[in-house]
Structure 1
Amino acid sequence: MTESLQSPAEPLKFAYWVPNVSGGLVVSTIEQRTDWGYDYNKTLARLAEDNGFEYALSQVRYIASYGAAYQHESTSISLAIALATERLKVIAAVHPGLWQPGVLAKLVASADVMTGGRMAINVVSGWFKDEFTKLGEPWLEHGERYRRSEEFIRYVREIWTSEHAEFGGDFYRLHDFDLKPKPVEVPGRPHPEIFMGGNSTDARGMGGRVADWYFMNGNTPEGIQEQIRDVSDVAQVHGRTVRFGVNGFVVARDTEAEARDVLREIIDKADREAVEGFGSAVKQAGQSTGDKKGMWQDSEFADLVQYNDGFRTGLIGTPEQIAERMLEYKRRGANLILCGFLHYHEDVEYFGRHVLPVVREMEAAELERVHA
């Protein structure tokens, strides 16, 4: 078996969850000085790119659910954020089944031209049945959702890179199509990057076969390493390489006690009804897999208060503790940390001022040891 280990010479990359959905990044009644509106997010994007963040991931919700009453659509706010910044790369989460892939590919290609090559997509196979059925779209069985997503990715990649695009699948077809304008030609990037996530066997196989990046829910370093190994094994068979991102909720404070107190308050003030409703919905999605292996299947109540298991990554404590934890994920093969925060403006600035410099110092020291 192969293992895709992160090179010590390559710095960790950082992304942040765009709070384009109301309610913040934790399902809790704790005060969150975070807003879902555009003006707040425009300021946040500029802060983020000035504090070490390379990517911004816009989540996708279509209807009010589990504490998220309002939502800005992901592709539109991603483009708006990119146009408000100079360097930040934006990732828009998109659902096959709710997007026709050629239309989505056209939108992203145009947005990529407008932003100088800073657009990407995160293909989400879907866990929330109501978003499909209330829009009049069929809800597919788990494996079929991933099969559709794989075709979606192959179609989009083909239309972005071919002058006479052809694709024939069970869900999508493409006939001698020449998309113009094509996305921007960026060195080392043949087309806008394609992210996806998951934990199931279906997701791991799909990630190895077609994804550029594979996002993982929060987990221990050992749990992350296992997923990286599985996806990399599939990728190797297909002559590919995949890069990996880990979700984590960051509570960085001057002392560990302060950080732990914040985490305790978040969980103590959890919106129990919303957390339990979310937990029931996502566990149902994973239990529909053949091997009962999927995202959130071993998540406990406290884990689900941060809806991508961000607490499990353990980025709670002092800047030094968090930096060391991040480097442990890098040693296991992670290329990127996807961060959520409680009070975004303040916490992103604190991250850039106090956490990121320690990460870079530790990376430099580790590189020196490797070459000693």
Structure 2
Amino acid sequence: MRYGYWAPVFGGWLRNVADEREASWENLSRLVRRSEETGWDLTLIAELNLNDIKGIEAPALDAWSSAAALVAVTSRIELMTAVRPNFHQPALFAKQAANIDRISGGRLALNVVSSWWGKEAESYGLQFDQHDDRYARTTEWLQVLNSLWSRSRTDFQGRYYTLADAIVEPKPVSTPVRPRPVIYAGGESEAAKTMIARHCDAYVMHGDEPEHIAPKITDMKARREAFGLPPMKFGMAGFAIVRDSQAEAERELERITTIPGLAEGKPPSGFANFDQWLAGTELERELKIREYSVSNRGLRPGFVGTPETVRARIEAFEAVGLDLVLLQMSPQEEEMDRFAAQVIQPTRPAG
């Protein structure tokens, strides 16, 4: 199993806890550098210009300038940086990402996200496509990106993008094991899964129980084989609470999932954004109000308990084919250190 975490570009990941650390370069860079020392494999740098967790007026760090800065102060960790095609012209992005990948020595990865937040796109004067149109745009965007990274010159005529004799040099780092930056993507609609199986390298899922993750992996493996492409990797979001006893972990779970003001009809500002997300995406299982507290269905996997309980739970996901967990936790630095010492390091060879 590989272990990744969500970088604190919004300061923290809990909607109900106001006193998490601020969103700042100092906090971000310190945490990522520390994570290399303690054995984490990957960090996901989310891309939103408005803060979806703490409220739209709260600070939110830019994903791509943060990623470029992080490659200069790290040496080992993979930097999976989110990118939304309607926010980035593909040819210019291909040049930018190739340069960052070169600087990092081949540690850049992409998390391609077909935008769901209409309010944000409207605020910034950008095109916001409806559901299937989003995946049609993303498909074209990925075709352009792959051509620019693999061919000397690219001509492209599509519905969304047109290129004539475009050149990207130098190209990203390419090896037999990693011919291009790994492209991760997630989605649960038919349009999303078809696009990901055909054009991406890894499928990332919202958190769920092993018995629900297993058929999703089986389905995507079959789609991939039908295209005659190499096997994919599989990742899943989660939220981890590791304590010395199950009772301690459950008390912390209760604390972070209590929504202030909801009973009085005065929910926090981010709750309206959660409502819009529910209305704007196709979900295979009904979300519960508790999942407002922790994004990406992070509590469903059950990474809450003692180190032994959490390690056993992770083994259950590994048994059904999961390769990567992408974790949130809070307070992030302290909890990541605890998780690394009690969950990651005992499963790794000494030295």
TM-score range, shorter chain: over 0.9
With the length of structure 2 as denominator, give the TM-score of the two structures. 0.92
> 351-360 vs 218-227, which deviates more?
351-360
Deviation at 1:269, TM superposition (A): 4.4
Per the alignment, residue 283 of structure 1 pairs with 278
Per the alignment, residue 9 of structure 1 pairs with none
1:49 equivalent in alignment to 2:44: no
Structure 2 gap segments, 5+ residues each: 262-266
1:307 equivalent in alignment to 2:295: yes
Q: Distance in 2 between matches of 1:197 and 1:103?
A: 23
* 1:1-372 matches, cutoff 5 A: 12-22=1-11, 24-29=12-17, 31-32=19-20, 34-68=21-55, 69-240=58-229, 241-270=231-260, 272-274=267-269, 276-286=271-281, 293-294=282-283, 298-360=286-348
The 3-state SS of whatever aligns with 1:175 is strand
Q: Distance in 1 between matches of 2:283 and 2:141?
A: 21
Report if aligned partners of 1:117, 1:186 keep a CA contact under 8 Å in 2. Answer: no
Q: Distance in 2 between matches of 1:83 and 1:262?
A: 36
Structure 1 gap segments, 5+ residues each: 1-11, 287-292, 362-372
Report if aligned partners of 1:247, 1:309 keep a CA contact under 8 Å in 2. Answer: yes
User: How many pairs were matched up?
Assistant: 341
Report if aligned partners of 2:86, 2:115 keep a CA contact under 8 Å in 1. Answer: no
The 3-state SS of whatever aligns with 2:249 is helix
Q: Distance in 1 between matches of 2:269 and 2:301?
A: 22
AA partner of residue 154 (structure 2): A
Deviation at 1:190, TM superposition (A): 0.6
Q: Distance in 2 between matches of 1:80 and 1:204?
A: 32
Deviation at 1:178, TM superposition (A): 2.4
- Percent identity over the alignment is 28
Report if aligned partners of 1:21, 1:72 keep a CA contact under 8 Å in 2. Answer: yes
Pairwise CA RMSD: 1.8
Structure 1 runs of 4+ aligned residues shifted over 6 Å read: none
Deviation at 1:200, TM superposition (A): 1.9
The 3-state SS of whatever aligns with 2:155 is strand
Report if aligned partners of 1:21, 1:61 keep a CA contact under 8 Å in 2. Answer: no
